[in-house]
A and B are shown apart, each in its own frame.
Chain A
Amino acid sequence: MAASIAYVGGHLQYGVNFCMGQSYKQAIWVPSVTFNGCLQRELSWSCGVSKFLQIRKCNLFQSRRNENWKSFGTVITSAYLRDGSTKYFDFAVIGSGVAGLRYALEVAKHGSVAIITKAEPHESNTNYAQGGVSAVLCPSDSVESHMQDTIVAGAYLCDEETVKVVCTEGPDRIRELIAMGASFDHGDDGNLHLAREGGHSHHRIVHAADMTGREIERALLEAVVNDPNISVFKHHFAIDLLTSQDGSDTVCHGIDALNTETQEVVRFISKVTLLASGGAGHIYPSTTNPLVATGDGMAMAHRAQAVISNMEFVQFHPTALADEGLPIKPKKTRENSFLITEAVRGDGGILYNLSMERFMPLYDERAELAPRDVVARSIDDQLKKRNEKYVLLDISHKPREKILSHFPNIANECLQHGLDITQQPIPVVPAAHYMCGGVRAGLQGETDVHGLYAAGEVACTGLHGANRLASNSLLEALVFARRAVQPSINHMKSSSLDLSASSLWTCPLVPKSLGSDVMHKILRITKEVRKELQSIMWKYVGIVRSTSRLQEAEQKIGKLEAKWETYLFEHGWQQTMVALEACEMRNLFCCAKLVVSSALARHESRGLHYMTDFPHLEESKRLPTVIFPSSHTTGTWSSRQLHQQPIVNSMV
């Protein structure tokens, strides 16, 4: 199997502390094969860009010297150059959730910004975050308390410095949001109303009625739309980062994207790039994430030689509505799962397997009121043992009017599909919700690739450790988006944009030459392969894991990937071809493999990662899992950047 990870060229070295000058200690050192920067360059660049640029170059450089490359509120066309299919910006942001937008608004004061988002701008995990944002905003609360709650929830795997920074800076970030126009609920005393979610020892959740994420997204988008320095490129799917080698360093120069509406490739050359592309819920069949969450950022970063961390910590919710169990199936597959609240169990709901056996007492004396993690594992265990698709949550023994008044949303949703929850049990199955791991980012949001920053769910900052505390994800996004601003500006100022850079990477190709018949076949197969991958992930890399199951997952995923790629290439697909579904598929494969490898590497159970053959916490293993870049000489299409790396070792 692939390239990236443990088994390339050697054995797994265990417990070696490999200090890279950061506060992070590496738990598992995965041997990396050093990347050979001198690859054969394909001369298939047919856009004729370089010629055009050479002519333009002189004029532009003259005016640039005077302009100082800044644009304060002035029309930005002078600061960004449009040239056929290549665009030049100071800052490129991938993703339009809270992290991306927050960052864009700040850096736009210092240069031109492109926000590249694969669908509509509001289509992000942020938009679905309807809980709240946690911050210390009450006089009786304290940063230490928030820190403690975070670290306990994270099973002591959190990076303490990161936790301190986030908990300390959180309140200011909230105040800024309010100043930007986000409106949160107040008490009648005029102060922010703070709720208290599980795991928090104080009231500290700021929220906007029941749609905090949407409210924040709305406020930020409004500001973005009104900012003349920010250009939003919606329906632009990011394909790969454009990188080069400068000695032993990898440098990011921008990103290739596919305009999925016009089927045109657009190349963005930028001095600084921020990854804010969110999560990877769709590596699993049942997820709360919207369809856009296919792990694009994590995959691109891994292919670009960035370090990935803690991918084994996937947060599941135990009881999402299982469409398979509904009498009337939804006409089209539900995009994102409907989570059934803990309150149903709190109000007396009972869990049964499909033989109507109550199973929770077998796993925990608290039965249905056991902690969520225990419930999730128990359900997972039942499903695996019995080879079934869902379990049942029964509240029908409770008074009808109570059910309808407390849970009208569930009642309504189920009734629309032929189920009366006051009479029948609700079919439920665990759903993937949040990725605690991701692209390793330091305290400034910096990654191992120069000029590349990461913030939000795509990043692994060390805040969440082995399990995310409720309402900390929006907070993390806000804090790190802000922290990445100054380093980005500094990096931007010290970089010069080489306008001939664009020609150094092969251009991605839209597969027009294949014809629509072949494309239909490819799309159909890709759809099936995606379902198959999700099925493997759920079956073998779910909530309850074991070494043998993970190894089987590795095998199966490897075979599936090979089968899919062979099919593509047999039908004329070329290495540099791009299509939305195919690119998403390669990203899903990449992320799935990262999760499997990370899970195999952690020989203990901690937080969200549970192994039946290592069921206990091991103090000696209280270290992050780190995956280093892989060699490009071996590996699959999903593990290599689309373009070839440039021959030159240093950028002019």
Chain B
Amino acid sequence: MAKTSLSRLFASLSEHSIAKPSFTGSRSESVTRSAYNSVTRFVCSSAQETQLIREERSNEGDREAAKENLESVNNEEDEGEDGDHVNKETGEVGGPKGPEPTRYGDWERNGRCSDF
């Protein structure tokens, strides 16, 4: 159970870590960093339900494992031209992975709403 949820989490977090070329280079950097931070935390918190926050450990082993997981998940999900994701239901190329952003009327990505 935990493993599937974690891999799905890695998958959606990995969208953020793939920095699209943009003017705000620093912004995508910090998202990548936070993605890895949270990966470490989730690896920890699944082992110990009661503890919410772990101190930042330079846990190289965890980070490497997380990286590998991310890459394998990416390879699984990438299809279509140029490695763009193709939505099986709608045929949308290069679109957001995961649930349809407009399914509840607003525009949401991973829980954050940016238009309504």
Alpha-carbon separation in the docked complex, A211 to B90 (Å): 19
Query: Are A420 and B45 in touch, CB under 8 angstroms?
Result: yes
Would A406 and B99 be within 8 Å (CB), given that A186-B92, A186-B94, A197-B107 are in contact?
yes
Query: Are A338 and B112 in touch, CB under 8 angstroms?
Result: yes
Chain A: interface residue total (CB-CB under 8 A): 62
B46-67: CB near A (< 8 Å → 1, else 0) gives 0000001100000000000000
Alpha-carbon separation in the docked complex, A450 to B114 (Å): 36
Q: How far is the CB of B69 from chain A (nearest CB, A)?
A: 14
Alpha-carbon separation in the docked complex, A470 to B116 (Å): 5
Would A214 and B24 be within 8 Å (CB), given that A195-B101, A415-B38 are in contact?
yes
Would A210 and B96 be within 8 Å (CB), given that A405-B9, A418-B52 are in contact?
yes
Query: Are A218 and B22 in touch, CB under 8 angstroms?
Result: yes
Would A130 and B107 be within 8 Å (CB), given that A188-B93, A197-B102, A340-B112 are in contact?
yes
Q: Does A70 contact B (CB under 8 A)?
A: no
Q: Does A400 contact B (CB under 8 A)?
A: yes
Alpha-carbon separation in the docked complex, A198 to B113 (Å): 13
Alpha-carbon separation in the docked complex, A131 to B105 (Å): 11
Query: Are A199 and B105 in touch, CB under 8 angstroms?
Result: yes
Which residues of B are found within 8 Å of A198, using beta-carbon distances? 102, 104-106, 116
Residue in B13, B20, B92, B111 whose beta carbon sits within 8 Å of that of A344 in the complex: B111
Query: Are B93 and A342 in touch, CB under 8 angstroms?
Result: no
Give the residue among B1, B13, B99, B110 with the most A Cβ atoms within 10 A: B110
Query: Are B92 and A193 in touch, CB under 8 angstroms?
Result: yes
Would A470 and B115 be within 8 Å (CB), given that A195-B101, A416-B38 are in contact?
yes
Which residues of B are found within 8 Å of A317, using beta-carbon distances? 113, 116
Alpha-carbon separation in the docked complex, A207 to B114 (Å): 12
Residue in A127, A196, A412 whose beta carbon sits within 8 Å of that of B34 in the complex: A412
Query: Are A405 and B102 in touch, CB under 8 angstroms?
Result: no
Q: Does B83 contact A (CB under 8 A)?
A: no
Q: How far is the CB of B73 from chain A (nearest CB, A)?
A: 12
Which residues of A are found within 8 Å of B38, using beta-carbon distances? 408, 411-412, 415-416
B66-92: CB near A (< 8 Å → 1, else 0) gives 000000000000001000001000111
Residue in B34, B96, B114 whose beta carbon sits within 8 Å of that of A128 in the complex: B114
Residue in B4, B16, B94 whose beta carbon sits within 8 Å of that of A185 in the complex: B94
Query: Are A405 and B8 in touch, CB under 8 angstroms?
Result: yes
Alpha-carbon separation in the docked complex, A214 to B20 (Å): 10
Q: How far is the CB of A214 from chain B (nearest CB, A)?
A: 6
Nearest residue, chain B, Cβ from A210: B109
Query: Are A339 and B90 in touch, CB under 8 angstroms?
Result: no
Alpha-carbon separation in the docked complex, A419 to B110 (Å): 17
Give the residue among B4, B42, B103 with the most A Cβ atoms within 10 A: B103
Alpha-carbon separation in the docked complex, A415 to B52 (Å): 8
Would A400 and B110 be within 8 Å (CB), given that A187-B93, A408-B12, A415-B38 are in contact?
no
Q: How far is the CB of B76 from chain A (nearest CB, A)?
A: 15
Q: Does A221 contact B (CB under 8 A)?
A: yes
Which residues of B are found within 8 Å of A214, using beta-carbon distances? 22-24
Q: Does A612 contact B (CB under 8 A)?
A: no
Would A187 and B110 be within 8 Å (CB), given that A195-B101, A199-B105, A405-B9 are in contact?
no
Which residues of A are found within 8 Å of B113, using beta-carbon distances? 317, 339-342
Q: How far is the CB of A408 from chain B (nearest CB, A)?
A: 5
Q: Does A446 contact B (CB under 8 A)?
A: no
Which residues of A are found within 8 Å of B109, using beta-carbon distances? 130, 210, 409
Which residues of B are found within 8 Å of A60, using beta-carbon distances? none
Query: Are B12 and A130 in touch, CB under 8 angstroms?
Result: no
Which residues of A are found within 8 Å of B9, using beta-carbon distances? 404-405, 408, 411
Beta-carbon contacts under 8 Å, A166-210 to B: 185-189, 193, 195-199, 205, 207, 209-210
Residue in A121, A205, A339, A415 whose beta carbon sits within 8 Å of that of B112 in the complex: A339
Residue in B35, B52, B104 whose beta carbon sits within 8 Å of that of A412 in the complex: B35
Give the residue among A209, A345, A346, A404 with the most B Cβ atoms within 10 A: A209
Which residues of B are found within 8 Å of A197, using beta-carbon distances? 102, 105-107, 115-116
Would A132 and B53 be within 8 Å (CB), given that A185-B94, A218-B23, A415-B38 are in contact?
no
Which residues of B are found within 8 Å of A597, using beta-carbon distances? none
Which residues of A are found within 8 Å of B4, using beta-carbon distances? 401
Which residues of A are found within 8 Å of B112, using beta-carbon distances? 338-341, 409-410, 413
Query: Are B115 and A342 in touch, CB under 8 angstroms?
Result: no
Q: How far is the CB of B52 from chain A (nearest CB, A)?
A: 5
Query: Are B115 and A209 in touch, CB under 8 angstroms?
Result: no
Alpha-carbon separation in the docked complex, A426 to B110 (Å): 15
Query: Are B90 and A342 in touch, CB under 8 angstroms?
Result: no
- List 5 other contacts, CB 8 Å, given A193-B93, A470-B116: A198-B104, A198-B105, A210-B109, A211-B22, A214-B23
5 A-B contacts (beta carbon < 8 Å): A198-B116, A346-B103, A404-B5, A406-B111, A411-B9
Binding site for A on B (CB under 8 A): 1-2, 4-5, 8-9, 12-13, 16, 20-24, 34-35, 37-38, 41-42, 45, 52-53, 80, 86, 90-96, 98-116
Q: Can you list the 9 inter-chain pairs with the closest CB atoms, starting with the nearest? A: A198-B105, A131-B115, A407-B111, A401-B5, A131-B107, A341-B108, A409-B110, A410-B111, A130-B114
